[in-house]
Every structure is written in structure tokens, then in C-alpha cells.
Structure 1
Amino acid sequence: MLAYWYNAPRHIKLIFIIAVCAAIYVANQVQPLSPTYTVLSLALGFGLHFGQYLQTKISDRGSSKSKLQFLLRIYPLIIVGIVMWMLPPQHNWIVTIQALGFVLVVFFLVSIYQNRAKRFE
């Protein structure tokens, strides 16, 4: 699924970003997410992109490539587990939506920024 994101057309990316931001906004109206969890979510989202970036930079012949691919396949599940475990139990699904939304927003923005066309050489 993450590989599709890097090859998706611009309008699909824009639709996903708007939908995630709208979900975060609606969930925030019920129960705001604390800044500590927001920063943790932002770091996890950056880690998601950084893992994909490392996968493209490691040579195909090494055994570390297969280990990294396995880790990158389970990393989104690890993120969900970390978020579910660390968040407070009050309104758990609302704050989970916000935390996972912030993970996705950072992933979207960092991946789009990295692959943007350079204006100046």
C-alpha cells in the first residue's frame, strides 16, 4: 500500500490528505489529543517515510534488505499497536483516529516534499 502512495497521481494524494485532515478535525471536536501524543504521532509518521526511503537506498543483494523489507511490512502494525497502547482509555477510538491521522499527515507531507520537482538547480 505504501508503494502505491509514492506512485499515486496528485489528485488522489490531495483527496487522501483532505479526508485525513477532515477526520482529525471531526475527532478533535469530541476529544482533543494532547500535544505529547501529537508529537509522538508525528515522529512515527516520519519514521514510516524514513523506512521507505532506506529501502530504496539499500542494495538489493544484501541480507539486510530482506530484513528491512520484513520490518517495513510490520511497521504500520507496530505503529497502530504503539498508538493504541499509549493513548488514554477515555474516548480511546477518538484519540486513536487523531493519532493515526497525524501519522498519515506527516507521512503524506514528507513523502510529497521529498519527491517534488526541484525549482532551482
Structure 2
Amino acid sequence: MLDFWYSDRCSREMKLGACVVTCLIIYACSSFERLSTTLTLFCLATGAGLHFIRILKNKLTANHPYAEGFHILFFVLPIICMLAVITNLPDNHKLLSAVQALGFGLLGIFITSIYANRAKRFD
């Protein structure tokens, strides 16, 4: 999914639509149970961190000694972070809180990738 997000086939309109739908899902889930500020910031930071790890991974050549390590890190880090968040969620409405946490992680990726690839206004 992230390969499509970072490809040229994903237009600005599609990215905006994905951000709006994600925000609407988070808003709908928050009407039942709100995610704490700490967990929200942690999820946003996780998403932004995944974007920066992907940038580093793409800059490394295939025969670089750290290329495999970044591949493993990019695969394992989101799983570890989401498991840490899910274990710290409140017991009531745990599924809705988990959806919010995942949504905030995606928003972290969306915002940092859109900002990094924006068109420059001044030369």
C-alpha cells in the first residue's frame, strides 16, 4: 500500500481524499472513546518516523551493508509500535481506540510524505 502512496500513480487528489477519509474515520471513532494525547502523539511520531526510515532505506543501495537492516527495521518497527499502543489502550471500546491509533499513524505518514514532496513556491 505504501508503495502505491509513494508512486507517481497516486495523485494529489487521491492523497487528499485519503487524508480526509482517515480524519473522518478518526472523528467517528472518537465520538465513542477518545484516544489520549500521549498515545495520539506517539502514533503521529511513529508514522512520521516510518516516513523518514523509508527515505533512508531508499537512499541505500542494494549492496550496502545496512540495506537489509533498514528493510527489517521498516517491517518490524510499525508492528512493535502498534503492539505497544494497543497494550496501553483503555479496556472499553478497545477496537475503536485501536482504529484511531492506526489512523493517527497513517496521518503521520501522510502529512510528512505530502510535505516532503510538495511543490516549491520559490526558486
Among residues 49, 65, 68, which one is paired with 2:67 in the alignment?
A: 65
Equivalent position SS for 2:66: helix
Matching of residue 99 in structure 1 with residue 101 in structure 2 = yes
Partner of 1:6: 6
Q: Show the counterpart of 1:55.
A: 57
Deviation string, structure 1 residues 55-109 (Cα, Å, up to 9, x no partner): 1222332121022112212333333322212222221111111111111111101
Q: Does 1:27 align with 2:51?
A: no
In 1, the alpha carbon distance for the partners of 2:74 and 2:30 equals 29
Q: Which amino acid aligns with 1:4?
A: F
State the shift of 1:14 in Å: 1.6
Q: Is the helix fraction higher in 1 or 2?
A: 1
Q: In the alignment, residue 31 of structure 2 is paired with which amino acid?
A: Q
Superposed displacement of residue 120, structure 1: 1.1
- Residue ranges of structure 2 left out of the alignment (5+ in a row): none
- 1:51·1:72 contact (CA, 8 Å) conserved in 2? yes
Q: Is the 8 A contact 2:46 2:78 kept in 1?
A: no
3-state DSSP class of the match of 1:62? coil
CA–CA distance in 1 between the matches of 2:115 and 2:60?
21
Aligned length in residues: 121
Q: Distance in 2 between matches of 1:34 and 1:67?
A: 32
The amino acid across from 1:17 in the alignment is C
Q: Percent identity, aligned pairs only?
A: 38
Distance 2:78 2:2 in 1: 10
Deviations 1:15-62 (A, max 9, x none): 211111000000110011111111111111111111111112223321
- In the alignment, structure 1 segments of 5+ residues that lack a partner are none
